[in-house]
């Protein structure tokens, strides 16, 4: 009897895997067909494309890549078809998600080659801009990871960001850029403490709490800009400037990749450091184990002597500080001053990156880079007047997020206790 039960359980486990294998294989084949019917069919045989490999910010460049557009598209389509057939017949197993990412790169490359056919596109510069565009998204995702890992849903990241951007600009204008960053972090922590108090102590619906904070902070910052910062005698409060770029010795000299990854201001380097710090802290320390226990099973954590309420308070405030730091990027790392609603929904995009990255820092970094690349790509398309509306490309990361949530490329499920207020049982 036990053997029969084990066999049934094995069949149940294998069914979703087999379904994903078929779906992914069919997807690879559809991409190959799409490239063939849309790109190859409309491309002239003698057409060439030039990929400019000049990222900017350094002299470490590579020669421009010039190739026959149609031949490259045929090769990419054939490779996608081969991968699709192999996936259907045998499957890539645990490497399926990596193959999906590779196919996505191939599809993007084919799109760029086709769209810039007969001309050129600066791939190096586009990738460098993508890194910069991804910074607030990735840092916002880190804020969401911290909060949701202890069981608190935080959609107030947008409000915390915009608060950090304004406070950072004002204090940066008065006392210097580093003081502005510190003030932005503190303001984000204070905003996070409000969300923590409403969610943990008063057990307000966490979505409603976050929405209230977003509405309040957007309205307050817009009011301050209109009534104070735009008045002539107070404009000096909104002239902070921004951190200059700094090229890391040796690393920035690496051809092509050096300027893309290692010739930025301190916010980009802080993003790199925080990925490693958060990954180590969450998954390789006792603090991280307790934090995750509170988010997965707070009652069991409480039984083991972990103070659930204190842990949630401290981590949500820490998540607010992370969001405040992310917001300071807009005023102190990009524009050099504050504008109304300058975060432009990056907090919500950060949440999407968190989900896409399966609530892990490394995964969220990859997802944030994808979103940043989509923004950079859409900007280039609007300049080059590609035959496809740039807005359609901005939809791609969100569509991929829904695919992730649907479980097509594996399960994506957040901590079990996320969004659920903890009720301590009285003796």
Instruction: Express each pLDDT in 316-344 by its tens digit.
Output: 999 999 999 999 999 999 889 999 888 88
What does pTM read for this prediction? 0.88
More confident residue, 296 or 397: 296
**89, 118, 147 - which closes a domain:** 118
pLDDT value, residue 151: 93
Specify whether 92 is located in the same domain as 132. no
* Angle, helices 157-175/308-328, rounded to nearest 10 degrees: 60
State which of 68, 99, 118 marks the end of a domain.
118
Mean pLDDT of 257-269: 91
Secondary structure element (H or E) that encloses residue 67, with its range: strand 65-68
Residue 413 within any structural domain of the chain: no
Class of residue 80 by CB neighbours under 10 A (exposed 0-12, middle 13-18, buried 19+): buried
Angle at 362 between CA 359 and CA 364, to 5 degrees: 50
Q: How confident is the model at residue 194 (pLDDT cuts 50, 70, 90)?
A: very high
The answer to whether residues 240 and 359 belong to one domain is yes
pLDDT of amino acid 408? 52
Q: Answer with the residue of higher pLDDT: 77 or 56.
A: 77
The 10s digit of each residue's pLDDT in 407-421 is 555 556 778 888 888
Q: Which pLDDT band holds residue 33 (cuts at 50, 70, 90)? A: very high
Of 382, 417, 401, nearest to 295 (Cα)? 417
Task: Rounding to the nearest 10 degrees, give the CA dihedral for residues 335, 184, 314, 418.
Answer: -30
Domain boundary at 92, 118, 144, which? Answer: 118
- The residue ranking higher by pLDDT, 11 or 334, is 334
Residue 5 lies in a domain: no
Per-residue confidence at 13, pLDDT binned at 50, 70, 90? Answer: very low
Higher pLDDT pick, 231 / 196: 196
Q: Are residues 105 and 134 in the same domain?
A: no
2 assigned to some structural domain? no
SS3 246: strand
Q: Is the dihedral of CA 37, 41, 42, 47 positive or negative?
A: positive
pLDDT at 63 over 90: no
Whether residue 45 is found in the same domain as residue 186: no
pLDDT tens for each residue of 290-299: 999 999 999 9
CA distances from 339 to 69, 163, 170 (A): 42, 11, 12
Q: Are residues 67 and 185 both part of a single domain?
A: no
Tell me: do 283 and 156 sit in the same domain: yes
CA 280 to chain centre: 19
Q: What's the pLDDT at 19?
A: 79
User: What residue has token string 């504050």?
Assistant: 338
- Asked if the structure places residue 166 within a domain, the reply is yes
pLDDT value for 423 = 80
Question: What is the spatial distance between Cα 152 and Cα 196, in angstroms, rounded to a whole number?
Answer: 8
> Above 60 in pLDDT, residue 2?
no
Rg from Cα positions in the chain: 24
Mean residue pLDDT across the chain: 86
Q: Is residue 73 assigned to a domain?
A: yes
Residues 107 and 22 in one domain: yes
Q: Is the pLDDT of residue 28 over 70?
A: yes
How many angstroms separate the first and last alpha carbons of the chain?
A: 43
Look at residue 10 and tell me whether its pLDDT is greater than 70.
no
Beta-ladder partners of 52: 122
Residues 33 and 163 in one domain: no
Is there a single domain that holds both residue 359 and residue 343? yes
Q: How confident is the model at residue 253 (pLDDT cuts 50, 70, 90)?
A: confident
Q: Which two structure tokens, joined as six digits, stand for 415?
A: 């901590």
Burial (CB count within 10 angstroms: exposed 0-12, middle 13-18, buried 19+), residue 373: buried
Under the banding of pLDDT at 50, 70 and 90, the label for residue 9 is very low
Task: Find the domain containing 301 and state its range.
Answer: 125-405
pLDDT range class, residue 404, cuts 50, 70, 90: low
Distance between CA 49 and CA 52 in Å, rounded? 10
Q: Is the pLDDT of residue 173 over 70?
A: yes
- My answer on whether 84 and 201 are in the same domain is no
Residue-wise pLDDT tens digits, 197-224 = 999 999 999 999 999 999 999 999 999 9
Residue 48 lies inside a defined structural domain of this protein: yes
- Over residues 109-167, the pLDDT tens digits come to 898 888 888 888 888 888 888 999 999 999 999 999 999 999 999 999 999 999 999 99
Give Cα 230 to chain centroid, integer Å: 33
Name the domain count of the chain.
2
What pLDDT, on the 0 to 100 scale, is given for residue 58? 53
pLDDT of 64-118, one tens digit each?
A: 889 999 999 999 999 999 999 999 998 888 788 788 878 888 988 898 888 888 8
Residue 12 pLDDT greater than 50, yes or no? no
Residues 204 and 286 in one domain: yes
Residue 6 lies in a domain: no
Confidence of residue 379 (pLDDT cuts 50, 70, 90): confident
CATH classification of the domain holding 381: 1.10.3470
DSSP state letter for 122: E
Q: Which residues pair with 65 in a beta bridge?
A: 51
> Can you tell me the distance from the alpha carbon of 424 to that of 427, in angstroms, rounded to the nearest whole number?
10
105 domain-assigned:
yes
Say whether both 361 and 344 belong to one domain: yes
């Amino acid at each position: 009897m036990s053997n029969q039960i084990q066999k049934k359980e094995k069949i149940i486990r294998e069914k979703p895997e087999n379904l994903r294998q078929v779906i992914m294989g069919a997807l690879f084949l559809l991409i190959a067909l799409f490239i063939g019917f849309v790109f190859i069919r409309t491309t002239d045989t003698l057409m060439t494309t030039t990929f400019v490999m000049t990222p900017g910010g350094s002299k470490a460049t590579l020669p421009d890549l010039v190739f026959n557009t149609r031949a490259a598209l045929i090769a990419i389509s054939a490779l996608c078809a081969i991968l699709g057939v192999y996936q259907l017949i045998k499957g890539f197993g645990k490497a399926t998600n990596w193959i999906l990412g590779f196919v996505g790169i191939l599809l993007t490359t084919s799109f760029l080659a086709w769209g810039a056919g007969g001309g050129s596109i600066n791939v190096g510069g586009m990738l460098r801009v993508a890194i910069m565009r991804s910074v607030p998204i990735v840092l916002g995702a880190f804020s969401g990871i911290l909060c949701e890992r202890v069981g608190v849903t935080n959609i107030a990241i947008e409000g915390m960001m915009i608060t950090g951007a304004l406070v950072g600009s004002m204090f940066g204008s008065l006392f210097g850029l580093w003081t502005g960053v510190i003030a932005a972090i503190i303001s984000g922590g204070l905003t996070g403490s409000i969300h923590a108090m409403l969610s943990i102590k008063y057990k307000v619906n966490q979505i409603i709490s976050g929405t209230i904070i977003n509405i309040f902070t957007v309205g307050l910052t817009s009011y301050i800009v209109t009534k104070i910062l735009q008045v002539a005698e107070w404009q000096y409060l909104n002239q902070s400037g921004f951190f200059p770029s700094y090229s890391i010795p040796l690393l920035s000299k690496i051809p092509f990749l050096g300027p893309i990854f290692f010739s930025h201001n301190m916010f980009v380097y802080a993003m790199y450091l925080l990925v490693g710090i958060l990954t180590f802290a969450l998954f390789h320390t006792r603090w991280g184990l307790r934090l995750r226990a509170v988010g997965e099973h707070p009652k069991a954590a409480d039984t083991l002597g972990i103070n659930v309420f204190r842990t949630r308070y401290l981590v949500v405030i820490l998540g607010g500080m992370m969001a405040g730091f992310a917001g300071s990027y807009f005023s102190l790392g990009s524009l050099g001053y504050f504008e109304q609603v300058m975060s432009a929904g990056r907090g919500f995009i950060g949440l999407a990156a968190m989900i896409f990255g399966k609530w892990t820092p490394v995964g969220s970094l990859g997802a944030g880079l994808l979103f940043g690349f989509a923004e950079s790509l859409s900007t280039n398309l609007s300049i080059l007047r590609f035959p496809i509306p740039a807005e359609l490309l901005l939809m791609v990361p969100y569509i991929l997020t829904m695919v992730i949530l649907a479980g097509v490329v594996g399960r994506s499920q957040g901590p079990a206790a996320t969004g659920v207020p903890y009720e301590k049982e009285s003796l």
